[in-house]
Structure 1
Amino acid sequence: MSTDAASTRTARTGVPGLDDVLMGGLTEGNLFLLEGTPGTGKTTIALRFLITGAQAGEPGLYITLSETEKELRNGAASHGWVLDDNIVVFEVVPPESLLDADQHQTLLYSSDLELGETTELILGAFERARPKRVVLDSLSEIRLLAQSSLRYRRQVLALKHYFSRYGATVLLIDDLSSEAADKTVHSIAHGVIKLEELSPDYGAQRRRLKVSKYRGRAFRGGYHDFAIRAGGVSVFPRLVAAEHRRRLARADVSSGVAELDSLLGGGVEQGSSTLILGPAGAGKSTFALQFASAALKRGEKAALFVFDEELGLLLDRTQKMGFEFDAASEAGNLYLEQIDAAELSPGEFAQRVRAVVDDVQLKTVVIDSLNGYQAAMPQENALVLHIHELLQYLNRQGATTFLTVAQHGLVGDMRAPVEVTYLADTVILLRYFEALGRVRRAVSVIKKRMGRHEETIREFRIGQAGLTVGAPLDGFQGVLHGVPTFVGTTGPLLKSVVAGNDNAD
């Protein structure tokens, strides 16, 4: 095998999503730095790296200067892992003479002796095991023993050349506990992976990583969310919609309500996104669920990602309206998931949506609502970018997406908490209005990229028969402001509207 061929081979980490970020894994025979503050998952990733190698027949060596072997094995066991004979755990223990105050040398600093002894112990363990994969945990101990930046750099360089001579792939761990700003190893390492932990004001901590350096190899830049749960670390690569282009034959998708389809100019286009705006209680979820129900009746599959409403209440409510979501879920045609915004990062949510679309090949996705999705975002400016990539991806997979946004206020001038109307292909606007002493609801389509749509405003009602949409309100003006005026020339027009409302009940 040529040297060039060997340099392009990669050692997979085995961490879900991380190999995707690294575009295959860690190039064999090189030294990599994995850094992060305590608790960010460095040891868990390192153990998974060695276990994956052992499963492929590559012996591994875990050199620990900060944890005991028992602690490492217990940590592996908490994820259901067993460190077999292919993985040697070597615990570097200072010589007893260095712990005995009576035997301390006076002509040399004890750190000089400890650094030399530690290096000899590390090299001796490597000679005995001759591993293909090595983890050294942690560099903070070596940095403290070296005492100066020059000695520290030379020591790490010496270790790098030694391991490289035997073709070992090395993962150095730095917990940043001694010198968080020290970048000495960054210039030495072939690649650098940084783990970070964020603590929001409310909810669970959020973790993310980025590859800040990878010599001679492409990788997915930027931050990627990850989580530590039973079973190890899972990384959620940042979604890049441009990587998932495909051509589709698109057709109009019916809502199952003839009047609503007329308002939409025949329906919404398959593989497009529809944003449903309106105040609280106006019926945004019902409109979205109407499209999901119609998809199920056509024999297609759909997914509901619910942020705001408890699933049990949602199913009870929709069953009374004639939506058979329970049966569809049991048959495997409907995927239902309650999303806890306080516990789920945006990257993980996007990964879940993507996994369902890819695995089940469903055609309709409902996200209810973006207000809940926004709560999962630490920064509002990034929310629009996340939504943009997610919608573009879903569109290119041929999935029709419906999103709801609750606007502030009930009548009059209302604003959404985040401006995303320009991202959606179709925008449906719901409004309350008052007429003849009753609170009524109106629907209009204010945007549709593909094809024409009605410019009218129609009244709608939600009752035992589900969603009912009436005729255009030609005799009113000012409906969208909540207090319309009747401008019709004849009385029967107003009377027909009232009759329509009664029938809708």
Structure 2
Amino acid sequence: MIDGLSTKARTGVLGLDDVLSGGLTRRHVFLLEGTPGTGKTTIALQFLLEGATLKERCLYISLSESEEELRESALSHGIEFGDSIEIFELVPPESLLDADQQQSLLYSSDLELGETTKLIFEAFERLKPQRVVIDSLSEIRLLAQSSLRYRRQILAMKHFFSRSDATVLLLDDMTSDNLDKTVHSVVHGVLHLEQLAPDYGSERRRLRVIKYRGQAFRGGYHDFVIKTGGVSVFPRLRAIEHKTAFDRAILKSGIAEFDDLLGGGIERGSSTLLIGPAGTGKSLFALQFVAAAVKRGEKAAVFIFDEELGLLFSRTKAMGIDLEKMRDDGAIHIEQLDAAELSPGEFSQRVRDRVATFKAGTVVIDSVNGYQASMPEENALILHVHELLQYLNRQGANTFLTVAQHGLVGDMKSPVDVTYLADTVILLRYFEALGRVRRAVSVIKKRTGRHEETIREFRITDAGLTLGDPLSGFQGVLRGVPTLVGEKQQLLELSNEDESHS
């Protein structure tokens, strides 16, 4: 503890303190860099506001924006800090703006740089703050005009601040043509912000801690967003950090034939992948486990990428699964996601929040195709899915993923192969028999126990899912056009009424 305060200055930015292992070490100088629009000023204001709530003296030294502009920026996030933060708007002395009074024997930059530094130190000595933001170093770099003079100036500022109790945050908008890394070697830590513009959709922002002396931190890139209220950071998920003890019971789907196909059911704390062409019923199989979980008195979370919720509610209700009522009763959390507006880190955080706060024991992600749209890099997608599944498994949650394959019958192609990540893989197929298009289901992988190696026909009716006996009399069902090899055709009977709903 330092003067009754923690040794770390919390940033006030949701998720950032987790990345920084508690915040910024007090009495040190840090650099926050990023191109214009990445959120530097917003993070800096949140950093000072956090200090103000702790009754610390806070100083914002602005070399580029006026006090009015800063207050307007804060108000856009619903933040009104009043007199809790001292804003020192640094402007050149009037003599330097008057051409008649400019010195001719000395370079004007010498005077401007010296005057600027002097004004910064005077403002600091007057207030003696515990948190300081200097915005921005680009102005000082322009005044210095050379790398050597710039480095000397930064070192002078660092030595000056090191004799105080202040935690200092230097902002750099990286607008100089010569991106000098001088400050990186001088400061105690460096946070780098990026803004990416995908071919379609909103901008994506992410940050990385480049350096933090004498302190462990969460490495790699972390997605973040700027919304009303400020910046929210989504720390990169590391499943190995999360472990919960739970009973690995066998959970049933509520359909006896389907449970037989699964060797009795699904083990708690495992992941299941439902894969097949569009329209085969992948979502319905996953929601069958949601309905079974609710019936057991458990909660579930459903994340929909591809289907409009109103349509989903109406079609599942017609099959006996009233998702809307389950939601209204507080038994499930269900939300429709826009892949064009959502970063992978934000999605992972939403899932984690539902498991941690809503206590969801069953999680459905429908579909991985939509999830992939939020991050075109397939390798990164597999890593994200791997960490998310490992986290959910360690929390004792059952996860159901759906993947739509390209094609309808015959050779199928998957946009991304995640079959090796899932504990159980359920394959759905169309096949032709007796002049009709029918559906078949089989379990091709189950890590947690035995399962039937057969293929069963299934139908979707007003009563929901109906599974038949194993199709032992057919060969080539998975190819789409089977041949009869048994003595009789073991297919589900189709009535005219049922046919109209299939």
Q: TM-score, normalised by structure 2?
A: 0.97
Question: Which region of structure 1 is more displaced relative to structure 2, 155-164 or 88-97?
Answer: 155-164
Q: Deviations over 1:148-179 (max 9, x none)?
A: 11111111111111112111000000000114
In the alignment, the residues of structure 2 paired with residue 133 and residue 365 of structure 1 have an alpha-carbon distance, to the nearest angstrom, of: 43
- Aligned-pair identity (%): 70
Match of 2:470 among 472, 479, 488: 472
Q: Deviations over 1:24-70 (max 9, x none)?
A: 00000000000000000000000000000000011100000000000
The answer to whether the Cα contact below 8 Å between 1:461 and 1:501 also exists between their aligned partners in 2 is no
The one-letter amino acid of 1:415's match is K
Corresponding residue number in structure 1 for 2:263:
265
Question: Which region of structure 1 is more displaced relative to structure 2, 375-384 or 246-255?
Answer: 246-255
The one-letter amino acid of 1:387's match is V
Q: Deviations over 1:165-223 (max 9, x none)?
A: 11100000000011463110000010000000000000001000000100000000000
The one-letter amino acid of 1:254's match is K
How far the C-alpha of 1:380 sits from its partner, in A, is 1.2
In the alignment, the residues of structure 1 paired with residue 252 and residue 99 of structure 2 have an alpha-carbon distance, to the nearest angstrom, of: 84
Q: Deviations over 1:287-317 (max 9, x none)?
A: 1111111111111100110000000100011
In the alignment, the residues of structure 1 paired with residue 343 and residue 373 of structure 2 have an alpha-carbon distance, to the nearest angstrom, of: 10
How far the C-alpha of 1:434 sits from its partner, in A, is 0.2
Q: Deviations over 1:365-404 (max 9, x none)?
A: 0000000000000311100000000000000001000000
Q: Deviations over 1:429-471 (max 9, x none)?
A: 0000000000000000000001100000000010100111111
In the alignment, the residues of structure 2 paired with residue 198 and residue 469 of structure 1 have an alpha-carbon distance, to the nearest angstrom, of: 48
Give secondary structure in 1 for the equivalent of 2:352. helix
Match of 2:80 among 79, 82, 86: 82
Corresponding residue number in structure 1 for 2:120:
122
The one-letter amino acid of 2:426's match is I
Point out where structure 1 has 5 or more consecutive residues left out of the alignment: none
In the alignment, the residues of structure 2 paired with residue 178 and residue 498 of structure 1 have an alpha-carbon distance, to the nearest angstrom, of: 72
In the alignment, the residues of structure 1 paired with residue 256 and residue 198 of structure 2 have an alpha-carbon distance, to the nearest angstrom, of: 46
Corresponding residue number in structure 2 for 1:405:
403
The one-letter amino acid of 1:73's match is R
Corresponding residue number in structure 1 for 2:165:
167
In the alignment, the residues of structure 1 paired with residue 301 and residue 212 of structure 2 have an alpha-carbon distance, to the nearest angstrom, of: 38
How far the C-alpha of 1:104 sits from its partner, in A, is 1.3
The answer to whether the Cα contact below 8 Å between 1:34 and 1:171 also exists between their aligned partners in 2 is yes
Q: Superposed, which structure 2 residues align to 1:275-290 within 5 Å?
A: 275-290=273-288
In the alignment, the residues of structure 1 paired with residue 250 and residue 122 of structure 2 have an alpha-carbon distance, to the nearest angstrom, of: 70
Give secondary structure in 1 for the equivalent of 2:443. strand
Against the structure 1 CA distance between its residues 330 and 299, is the aligned structure 2 distance closer, same or farther, given a 3 Å change threshold? same
Q: Is residue 132 of structure 1 aligned with residue 126 of structure 2?
A: no
Aligned residues: 499
Against the structure 1 CA distance between its residues 171 and 498, is the aligned structure 2 distance closer, same or farther, given a 3 Å change threshold? closer
Q: Is residue 497 of structure 1 aligned with residue 460 of structure 2?
A: no
Corresponding residue number in structure 1 for 2:66:
68
Match of 1:253 among 251, 254, 263: 251
In the alignment, the residues of structure 1 paired with residue 484 and residue 312 of structure 2 have an alpha-carbon distance, to the nearest angstrom, of: 37
The answer to whether the Cα contact below 8 Å between 1:470 and 1:500 also exists between their aligned partners in 2 is no
The answer to whether the Cα contact below 8 Å between 2:366 and 2:401 also exists between their aligned partners in 1 is yes
Q: Deviations over 1:459-493 (max 9, x none)?
A: 0010100111111101000000000000012xxx3
How far the C-alpha of 1:328 sits from its partner, in A, is 1.1
How far the C-alpha of 1:255 sits from its partner, in A, is 0.7
How far the C-alpha of 1:502 sits from its partner, in A, is 7.3
Corresponding residue number in structure 1 for 2:231:
233
In the alignment, the residues of structure 2 paired with residue 456 and residue 381 of structure 1 have an alpha-carbon distance, to the nearest angstrom, of: 33
How far the C-alpha of 1:246 sits from its partner, in A, is 2.6
Q: Is residue 33 of structure 1 aligned with residue 31 of structure 2?
A: yes
The one-letter amino acid of 1:121's match is L
Q: TM-score, normalised by structure 1?
A: 0.97
Corresponding residue number in structure 2 for 1:54:
52
In the alignment, the residues of structure 2 paired with residue 80 and residue 180 of structure 1 have an alpha-carbon distance, to the nearest angstrom, of: 36
Q: Deviations over 1:118-165 (max 9, x none)?
A: 011101111111100000000000011111111111111111111121
Match of 1:366 among 364, 367, 371: 364
Against the structure 1 CA distance between its residues 109 and 87, is the aligned structure 2 distance closer, same or farther, given a 3 Å change threshold? same
The answer to whether the Cα contact below 8 Å between 2:13 and 2:232 also exists between their aligned partners in 1 is yes
The answer to whether the Cα contact below 8 Å between 2:468 and 2:492 also exists between their aligned partners in 1 is no
The one-letter amino acid of 1:163's match is F
Corresponding residue number in structure 1 for 2:12:
14
In the alignment, the residues of structure 1 paired with residue 378 and residue 189 of structure 2 have an alpha-carbon distance, to the nearest angstrom, of: 31
In the alignment, the residues of structure 2 paired with residue 2 and residue 280 of structure 1 have an alpha-carbon distance, to the nearest angstrom, of: 61
In the alignment, the residues of structure 2 paired with residue 271 and residue 212 of structure 1 have an alpha-carbon distance, to the nearest angstrom, of: 36
In the alignment, the residues of structure 1 paired with residue 381 and residue 454 of structure 2 have an alpha-carbon distance, to the nearest angstrom, of: 32
In the alignment, the residues of structure 2 paired with residue 453 and residue 465 of structure 1 have an alpha-carbon distance, to the nearest angstrom, of: 25
The answer to whether the Cα contact below 8 Å between 2:457 and 2:492 also exists between their aligned partners in 1 is no
How far the C-alpha of 1:503 sits from its partner, in A, is 9.3
Give secondary structure in 1 for the equivalent of 2:478. helix
Against the structure 1 CA distance between its residues 398 and 207, is the aligned structure 2 distance closer, same or farther, given a 3 Å change threshold? same
Against the structure 1 CA distance between its residues 298 and 503, is the aligned structure 2 distance closer, same or farther, given a 3 Å change threshold? farther
In the alignment, the residues of structure 2 paired with residue 393 and residue 72 of structure 1 have an alpha-carbon distance, to the nearest angstrom, of: 41
The one-letter amino acid of 1:499's match is E
Against the structure 1 CA distance between its residues 220 and 307, is the aligned structure 2 distance closer, same or farther, given a 3 Å change threshold? same
Corresponding residue number in structure 2 for 1:382:
380
Corresponding residue number in structure 2 for 1:426:
424
Q: Deviations over 1:305-351 (max 9, x none)?
A: 00000001000111101102111101111101100000000000000
In the alignment, the residues of structure 2 paired with residue 322 and residue 35 of structure 1 have an alpha-carbon distance, to the nearest angstrom, of: 55
Give secondary structure in 1 for the equivalent of 2:339. coil
How far the C-alpha of 1:84 sits from its partner, in A, is 3.0
Give secondary structure in 2 for the equivalent of 1:499. coil
In the alignment, the residues of structure 1 paired with residue 92 and residue 56 of structure 2 have an alpha-carbon distance, to the nearest angstrom, of: 29
How far the C-alpha of 1:247 sits from its partner, in A, is 2.9
Q: Superposed, which structure 2 residues align to 1:106-255 within 5 Å?
A: 106-179=104-177, 181-255=179-253
How far the C-alpha of 1:100 sits from its partner, in A, is 0.9
Give secondary structure in 2 for the equivalent of 1:360. coil
Corresponding residue number in structure 1 for 2:350:
352
In the alignment, the residues of structure 1 paired with residue 227 and residue 177 of structure 2 have an alpha-carbon distance, to the nearest angstrom, of: 29
The answer to whether the Cα contact below 8 Å between 1:241 and 1:392 also exists between their aligned partners in 2 is yes
The answer to whether the Cα contact below 8 Å between 2:244 and 2:394 also exists between their aligned partners in 1 is yes
In the alignment, the residues of structure 1 paired with residue 497 and residue 220 of structure 2 have an alpha-carbon distance, to the nearest angstrom, of: 56
Against the structure 1 CA distance between its residues 501 and 246, is the aligned structure 2 distance closer, same or farther, given a 3 Å change threshold? farther
Corresponding residue number in structure 2 for 1:42:
40
Give secondary structure in 2 for the equivalent of 1:336. strand
Q: Over aligned residues, Cα RMSD in angstroms?
A: 1.5
How far the C-alpha of 1:245 sits from its partner, in A, is 1.8
